[in-house]
Structure 1
Amino acid sequence: MLITVTRTGGFAGGEKTASLETECRADGPELERLAELALSTEGPVDQEPVPDGFRYVLRVDNKLVELQDPYLTEEQRRLIDIVLTTAL
């Protein structure tokens, strides 16, 4: 499973994109579980943008979801953190 996260916004307004493939990772099954939960959980429909907040595009294989702080679930936040900190 290929997981890609693109983060935009924040105070500086920068963009960061990171990807990782779960196939050869020891924690691959856990990352795949988090990815499925992250995609299946909808955020609040009436999300108000937060000044200087981060926005995320989470792509898992061919599925895509757009998310934003502070409306992330625990699973979404954990997955995003892992991808952005461990991907090359």
Structure 2
Amino acid sequence: MLITVTRSGGFAGVEKARELDTRGLRDAERWEELAHRAVAPRPDGFHYRITVDDEAIDLQDPYLSEDQRTLIQALMEGAA
């Protein structure tokens, strides 16, 4: 299994990616189970996409910052 993690953003806007090929690793099963759990959708959580002009971000509940949660709640409740 090939596992890839890509990080972008931050102040410098630098993208960094790391890959792990689990073939032949003694602890391959542990890595593969972790990877499957990490990408599994949360059936009880909402998914959001916030778009500001041409910039978009995909989010999933419960992993929202306070600002993201506030914006989502205000717009979804029609407070605008």
Q: TM-score, normalised by structure 2?
A: 0.51
Shift of 1:30: 0.6
1:45 corresponding residue in structure 2? 47
With a CA cutoff of 8 Å and minimum separation of 6, indicate the structure with the bigger relative contact order. 1
Segment of structure 1 superposing worse, 18-27 or 28-37: 18-27
Count of residue pairs the alignment pairs up: 56
Identity of aligned residues (%): 48
Supply the RMSD in Å over aligned alpha carbons: 3.2
Give matches, 1:1-88, under 5 Å.
1-42=1-42, 44-46=46-48, 71=63
Gaps of 5+ in 2: 52-56, 65-80
Q: TM-score, normalised by structure 1?
A: 0.48
Gaps of 5+ in 1: 50-54, 56-65, 73-88
